[in-house]
Copies of this chain bind each other. A is one copy, B any other.
Amino acid sequence: MNLTDIQPENQQLKKRLILVVSKGTIDMLYPALVLATTAPAMGMKVDMYFTFWGLKALTKDGVNSVKIAPVGNPGMPMPNIVGIIPGMTKMASTMMKSKIEKFWPDVYAMIKMAKDSGVKLHACSPTMGFMDVKEEDLIPEVDDIVGASAFLSWASEPDALTLFI
């Protein structure tokens, strides 16, 4: 695909990507992190707002434990989204994480890559409260702790592409 074909007026494209990361499963963290690490090369400034379950990926404990496959763990019930498609069996699920990591680094490495590309990492302040996450529990890559109004102020910029993941 020739991208210039679909970008006739490149200079008018949105230059800011705002990602709300609301889920803590590996299958929803990767879509966010892949976009976050792809967009800077396209000239976009990226902000990631980690809220609710997504916040755990910004904690020292969480960012490492997310490496343990959420799907296919024998001690856990099958995720619903897996059970629906025959062929997407439990065994296949067990292998998913290792397959994903043939394509991309693990979650923490992706976060560091994003950070190195200038991506800003924001922790949701009320989520920290009700999940008992202290500032010292956060990984050092976190830029700041903000609330919903900060997120809305960024997301309402005309130049922003905002996705709730």
What is the copy number of this chain in the assembly? 3
Q: Which of A4-49 contact B (CB under 8 A)?
A: 6-7, 12-15, 17, 20, 22-28, 30-31, 34-35, 38-39, 41-42, 44
Quick one: which of A3, A20, A80 has the most chain B CB within 10 A?
A80
CB of B161 within 8 A of CB of A163, answer no
Chain B residue numbers with a CB within 8 Å of A165 are 22, 164
User: Considering the chains assembled together, what is the distance between the CA atoms of A135 and B17 in angstroms?
Assistant: 30
Are B24's CB and A28's CB within 8 A?
A: no
Residues of B within 8 A of A109 (CB): none
The docked-state distance in angstroms from the alpha carbon of A68 to that of B151 is 29
Bound: A110/B162 CA distance, A: 24
Q: Are A14 and B157 in contact (CB under 8 A)?
A: yes
- Establish whether residues A66 and B41, one from each chain, have CB atoms under 8 Å apart when the complex forms: no
Contacts of A134 in B (CB 8 A): none
Contact of A85 among B15, B24, B148, B157 (CB under 8 A): B24
For the complex, give the distance between the alpha carbons of A73 and B102 in Å: 33
Is B80 a contact partner of A76 (Cβ separation < 8 A)? yes
Contacts of A116 in B (CB 8 A): none
CA distance A68 to B87 in the complex (A): 13
List, sorted by A's number, 6 A–B pairs whose CB atoms are closer than 8 Å. A12-B157, A14-B158, A17-B156, A34-B126, A77-B83, A161-B162
